[in-house]
Structure 1
Amino acid sequence: MAMLAEARQWFEQWIGAVAVTVDGVAGRFMRRRSVELDENADGTFTARIAQAKDGALAAPVSFRLDQDAPLPQLSADWKAAFDGCRIEARLRSDHIVSRVLDFPSQAGDFLDGMIRAQVDRLTPWTAADAVFGWGPPQPIANDRIEVVFGATAAAKVDPLLRLAKTLGAASIAVSAPATGGDGVPLLVTLLDRPLRGLAGPAVPRLLRVGLVSAAATAAVCLLLNVYLGGWLQSRQEDLQHRISQRRAALRIDANGDGSGLGLLAKRKQTTPSSVMVLEAISRVLPDTTYVTELRIEGNKVQVVGMTQDAPSLIRLLEQSPQFTRATFFAPTTRAANESAERFHVEANISAYFGSGT
């Protein structure tokens, strides 16, 4: 029964994966109608069709939200236009928090984590209660990048999401105006979310033929497991027993008298001590760097502290023969009252720290 339950679960996952693939392929070749939804100063919204070809929908329509429904009610033509469309909503700047952030240029691959960790400091909301986004990074002086950040409360966007689902839209994107560091206005996308699959409920019906063949294959596999599973299990246990015996014999041959002194000597040479790791770290880091935390876990070392140039630490650690694969394991931050950057770096420790003599 457990095997049948696992097979059923696998079938369900397979159906979902194929459905997602069909949606992705269909999304590339199918063009959805786009409806632009602009927020007005009085809290109402104006909808217009991008590149409208239907004369009945050429004129925009305005409405307000009343319990997640448009008031006055939309005409039949507009309801049909919203069904399966992509809604591009643009909010006013009244309820938007906009900031211009700067980071080291090497932090471009970590912007999501670095910005998400600062949402509660940049806005009145936590990351869970806010909808936020940022524009493309722009290079500025001193090897740094500038990012335009925008956010609003999730309660401001939730009514639009419920409206889009009520009208049967396929997806919705919410953006807000912001101003870059050079004074150029731009739109920051706060949310871009699909609301339903393109293939729809027809996907499971299309997969029924595939399920029949898959069920036949599963039945054959179950029979093979019943008749051959026990034999394969016994063979595996026998091989594991022989491998264990062979490894024990090799250890005795390597140690000579089997006293284990050779293993202890080898472990001493291949296991880095905390003192040697600390000495290697002190030689690598520049004088302008201050370490506040040092953790050694297995073959990895994590260093936390303050420095003037956090990205350069990766290069210095990589150049050292004692460390490899140096990377940031947490965002690099700079507080308003601090001139240095707070870094979080980890690296693999080379197991060999000295000669055997």
Structure 2
Amino acid sequence: MAARGEFAAWIGSAAEAIVDMIGRLNLKPSVQLIETEHNVFVVKSTGRSGPPDHSFLLSGGEAAMRRLPDKWLDLVRGRRIEVTLRPDRFLWRPLELPKRAVEFLEPMVRSQIDRLTPWTAQDAVFGSTAPVEISADRIQTTVIAAPRTSIDPLIRLAESWRAACVVLIAAPQGPPHERAKPQATRLIEHHLRGPLDAGRVRRILTAALVVAALAATLSFGITSILGGRLEEQQRVLSQRVSERRATLRLGVEGADNSAFGALLRSKQERAASVLVLDALSRVLPDETYVTELRIDRNKLQITGISRDAPALIGLLEQSAHFNQATFSAPTTRAADDAGERFHIEVGLKAYFGGST
């Protein structure tokens, strides 16, 4: 509850500051309402041109409104009215405070209203004069207060005139001839309903802060949810990458149990055609010619012509690359051939390298 009260007070102060700042941008001159005698007021214009001064007796808002000329009614509409009240309307009480309290003078005065006056801070209209230093560490100010009920008729009067705001000012104490250079004390500034209404600004500020808080909360929640999902996806992806790397390592290390291992084994076990031809050229004699060669996995089939075909079997068996050499078809000899036509099938050893 205390926090809510402090928040409401802060919002109210901010709203009044905004309204006051916007109101000061209003280039229209203000209107002065000066109390010359008890409940007798004179209306003055602060502009260069305006209706002549007009005085009236405040016996009621409606009566005063009827007594105000139409020119003045048109002039005060939407204007700032500065009401200067006689000092005998107020209760004046001196107040001594520590010198460091000058920065917090208004809250300090508010806290002392119950002790200095018969009214509470909510039931009074009050202010204080400029502080005066009375010693090295003490200051003195004069608290000025009046019951709010005595001021309400003036507020209602300004509302009936459709004024923008009312500023209440307490005239200094003393006979009029001694107030040649008065130090009037400003008490309150009351903004009336309209485009510069402090209550409306307060509601707008409260709504804006609530919307901003909800947006921030929603943004934080969405960020947390999306961040959690992204972290989970990143974790799953990292786990899959690690598993894939482990699988690849196991595939290389245990190639016998994988397709990669079978491919690697096939590559190692099969002899390359270039190597087979190179090894075969080293084994066969110069007078032997190969006319056809076929490699089928670990078997080599060769067809050709040689002067001594049976000797080829022995040469192939003695090689480090071939084994189980046999004739796959009978050896023949044609009339126009330079030797015997042979068909030999020979096995290829698993290790294919080195020389004969």
TM class by smaller structure? 0.3 to 0.5
Q: Between Structure 1 and Structure 2, whose CA radius of gyration is higher?
A: 2
Q: TM-score, normalised by structure 1?
A: 0.47
Q: TM-score, normalised by structure 2?
A: 0.47
